[in-house]
Structure 1
């Protein structure tokens, strides 16, 4: 692969990592897709081993995020349906109030859903905080997987 192509792959990986943090783009899909394109174009065992390692990191992060965030949500007794409402409101909020509407919509919808369910403001707020913490756990785990996948690509790039 040419240097320009490698730079484009690196930029796609960077966009994927930013997408993980901002939660607007499918970050790890972009990271892994960029590494896959690099492996296909570069070819050879080193590129495919780098892709395989990157894929393992991404898959492990995807599984771990559901296990860790799910455990956190179960402890706080917050159902997944509350997160679905938060996610829907976050997407709508993103378009109503660009960028920050995502966070405002998510928090507001989770709070309202839990307030309707629990009928207690303090309990609803505790559930909202737990949902935000679970979201933070998800972001951190995905980011770790994406960074490790990017490191696998970087190592593969250095070795090819």
Structure 2
């Protein structure tokens, strides 16, 4: 692959990494797809092995991302229905107040749902904090997996050169 091609793949990976933290794009998916395009264009054994390792990091991170935070929230007695309400409120908030509305809407939605269920502001706020920690943990796990995939790709590019 040409230098320009590698720079474009690196740029797409960077956009994907940013998309994990700022949830506008499917970040992790963009990272792994970019590495897949690089492997396809390179067409070498090294590039496909690199893609395989990167994909394994991505899949592992996705599995952990959906299991670990859920276990923590179940222990904290945060219901799935409350998280769904928070997610919907976050999506609405994103369109009402671009970018930061996602966080504001999620927090408001979780808190309002917990207040409707428990009628205790202290408990509702504690559940909201647990939900936020779960989301942060999920983002951190996805970012770690994408960064490991990116490092794998960089090593593959260096070896292929």
TM-score in terms of structure 2 length: 0.97
For residue 65 of structure 1, report the CA deviation from its aligned partner.
1.1
How big is each residue's C-alpha offset from its partner over 1:108-155, in whole Å with a ceiling of 9 and x where there is no partner? 000001111111111100000000000010011000000000011101
TM-superposed CA distance for 1:103, in Å, is: 0.7
- How many angstroms does 1:93 deviate by? 0.8
Residue 156 of structure 1 corresponds to which residue in structure 2? 156
Partner of 1:62: 62
How far 1:70 sits from its partner (Å)?
0.8
Q: Which residue is equivalent to 1:108?
A: 108
1:65-111 Cα distance to aligned partner (Å, 9 max, x none) = 11210111111101122111111111111111111111100100000
Q: Who is 2:19 aligned against?
A: 19
Q: Could you say what the CA RMSD is over the residues aligned between the two structures, in angstroms?
A: 0.8
Paired residue secondary structure (1:142): helix
- Alpha-carbon deviation of 1:24? 2.2
For normalisation by structure 1, the TM-score amounts to 0.97
SS in 2 for 1:24: coil
The answer for unaligned runs of 5 or more in structure 1 is none
How many pairs were matched up?
160
Structure 2 distance, partners of 1:87, 1:131, is 11
Q: 5+ residue gaps in structure 2? A: none
Divergent runs of 4+, >2 A: none
- How big is the shift at 1:23? 2.1
Measure the CA separation in 2 of the matches of 1:26 and 1:53.
20
